[in-house]
Structures are given as C-alpha cells and as structure tokens.
Amino acid sequence: MSSSVLPPHPSLEQLKKQAKSLFKAFQAADRKVAFRLKQSLSRLSGLSDQEIFHAKISLKDAQYIIAREHGFADWTALKRHVDEIKGQKRLAGTADVVFRPPIEDDLEAIQAGWDRAVPHDPLATNWAQTSRDLVFLSEEEGLSRVATLNGTIIGFVSATKGTLRAIYVVGPYRRQGVGDALLAEIIEFAQKKGWNQLSVATFHHWVGTMPGIDIRYENTVRFLEHRGFERGQLIPDMEADFQDIETASRQRPLQRVCTVSEYHPDEIEEMKAFDERRETGWPDWVWVNRIAKYPQTDHRVYLVARVEGQLVGCVEAQISHGVAEINYLSVESAYRHQGISSALLREIASVCQHRGAKSMFAAMVSHKFYEVNGWRVQREFVKMTNLLRR
C-alpha cells in the first residue's frame, strides 16, 4: 500500500494513478485492499471480503478512498488542497515560527492537523477523552508544544514519561526544520528530567495508546531514524474471515483434550486462582478485574478452557459494527503449545459469528500464532526507541 502522507508538492496525476490502481485491485478481488474499502466506505463495513468483491464500486469510489486515506472529506477537497499548494511559497527555516504550550483555543486545530497527518488513527471519535492527557500536561507529566505561523498551528508534539506520544507537521510546512525544532524541545526536556530513552507510541483507534508506529507513515519513520531512533520489532494487527478460520482449524488438531465453554459467574473463585498462577503485573490484564470492569453481555464474550476440570485458559472478545475484536487471550504457562490457545480462538470465533459478527480482529498481537490459525496481517507497527545521551 502506498503512503497516505502527502509529499510537500503532491501530484494530482499521481493521486489519480493511485485511485486507478486501487480500482484495478478491487476488480481483481485482491484481498489486500479489502480492509481499505471497508475502512473508507461505510456501506461495506459489515461485509466479509467475499461480499465486498461482489459489491458495486466505481472509480469515483476509489478516488474517494484515496482522499479519505489522505485525511480529506472527499476527492474534491483533496484536489482543491493540491491546487492550493501549487501556489504556496515554502518557508525558509523556522525564523517566523513560534513554539509555545497549547491553550484551550488550540484544541480544534490540533485535532484537525492530527487527523490529516495521521489518517489511519484519527482522534475524532475519542478526542474528548484523549485531549486532556495528550495536550495539557503538567511539568511532572511531560511536555507538549504547538508550532504556529502567523497564528496558525502547523505542528504539534507531546511526550510523557519516556514516551513520544505525538509529533506531526502539517504537509506544506514539512522538511523545513519545524519537526526538528519540535523534537529538539522534547529531547531537551527529556534529558533534564533524566529520562534514559524516548520510545514512540501510537494512538491506536481500537485500543488506545500502544507502542510503535504504523509502517505506512514512511516519512515519519524515516524522519525519526535520521534523528537517532532505532527500529525494533514489528507488531501486527491481525484480521480473519470465518471461512479461513474454519479451514485452518481442520489442519490444527488439539494435542491435549480440553473443553471450552462460556464463562459463568459461579466460576469467579476459579478465575481468581487462575490469575494468581499467572502472576501478571498489569491490573487491566487480571481476569477478575476485567470481568468486573467489562461485564459479559451479548456483545462481550468470555470463554474458558479446562483440562481435566481445571481452568487453564480464557479469552475475551467484543462485537462492534459487525467486527469481533479479541481483547485478551491467555493460557497458563504449563499448558501452552498444546493447541489450547487455538481451541479458544476457534471457539470464540464461532460464538461471535453466531452473534452477528462478520469478521474477526486482534490488535498488536503475535502474528505467527494467529497466521497458523487462519488469520492475516492487516497492518504493522514498528517499535522505535532513542537512547538519550545526557
């Protein structure tokens, strides 16, 4: 997939070619483009890949998708933006740019800039709850800054406790030192605070703030690499259709007899014992805490796995807009690599399908395990870290 960040001087002809390539991929039933179609065309959001490729989609739809992926309302808005850039003069360095802390009146402009620069993870749906801990920070929490030119916000950066949580510069003002200046303020602050490193985090539209950056933001990845950030492991989002899960399940038989059933509140004491054996240090990943915080409903499913009567595994999924997301899956260490995790994954897919889900999704998980169970990579994040020198 091509990058969804416009270059400083975008070509309308190149954008038209991207739309034509997308349309040809749809006509060829290329499953790699199915998620892009679902993400931008709401009428396809609840359909399976097979149903999508039988839908009516035109070249204008493909142009609309290209526009949406670049952060614009439609193709007309994208074309207007490209035409405007042609007549703009580039900045000469950052002499006229003001860097300052954000204020209340900046919120709308910061969000608009974010959604354009980070089109795969817009803040719009979660902005009210996200803005406070991303934009307005005490010195103890971290640092945030906006870059303005003639009163207009053209960039933003935010970091907390060793984590670079956001950095962007609006398209026409990139490659002119604005991003460098924003990053320099963060690094200086981090060194004063004694942070040993600065790791990149992503606002993931499914699960909130998570480590890494989507590799589709190629310009940002290169920018950070050239400024001392090192690439780490790749972490994928995975997706699957029920037919693929069923096909894979016939190829991976259980190595140990286990039973999988829906969790019942009477099993709470057994769940506590399971949590104690796992010794997890994260409160949100203690099963009894999750069940108390997110009760079981028709749209939130908890299943447990048992071996010889003992509870040894659990999985949770939530169904929303036709997609069932795996929120958490764990098996006690002594029972791993015996097919029990696969059994939980297959069974919860079956339950979710019967409750109306059209497809499955799991954010930032182990791709090898999910791939052998019929899942495929939807998108990938790369961890990036700068070991700061004091």
| Predicted confidence (pLDDT) per residue in 302-314, tens digit | 999 999 999 999 9
pLDDT of residue 318: 94
CA nearest 146: which of 108, 172, 191?
Answer: 108
The answer on pLDDT for 2 being more than 50 is no
- Prediction pTM value: 0.66
The domains of the chain, with CATH numbers, are 12-86 (no CATH), 97-228 (3.40.630.30), 239-380 (3.40.630.30)
Q: Can you tell me whether residue 378 is helix, strand or coil?
A: strand
pLDDT band at 12 (very low <50, low <70, confident <90, very high): confident
Provide the pLDDT confidence category of residue 3 given band limits of 50, 70 and 90.
Answer: very low
d(CA 160, CA 137): 8
pLDDT tens per residue across span 162-208: 999 999 998 888 888 899 999 999 999 998 899 999 999 877 665 56
Residue 145 CB coordination number (10 Å): 20
Helix orientation angle between 59-69 and 12-27, rounded to the nearest 10 degrees = 120
**Per-residue pLDDT, 92:** 44
Pick the closest to residue 142 from 116, 164, 126 (CA basis). Answer: 164
As a whole number of angstroms, the distance between CA 339 and CA 186 comes to 46
- Which of 20 and 71 is assigned the larger pLDDT? 20
- Rounded to an integer, the average pLDDT of 143-166 is 92
Whether 147 and 154 have beta carbons less than 8 Å apart is answered as yes
d(CA 135, CA 26): 40
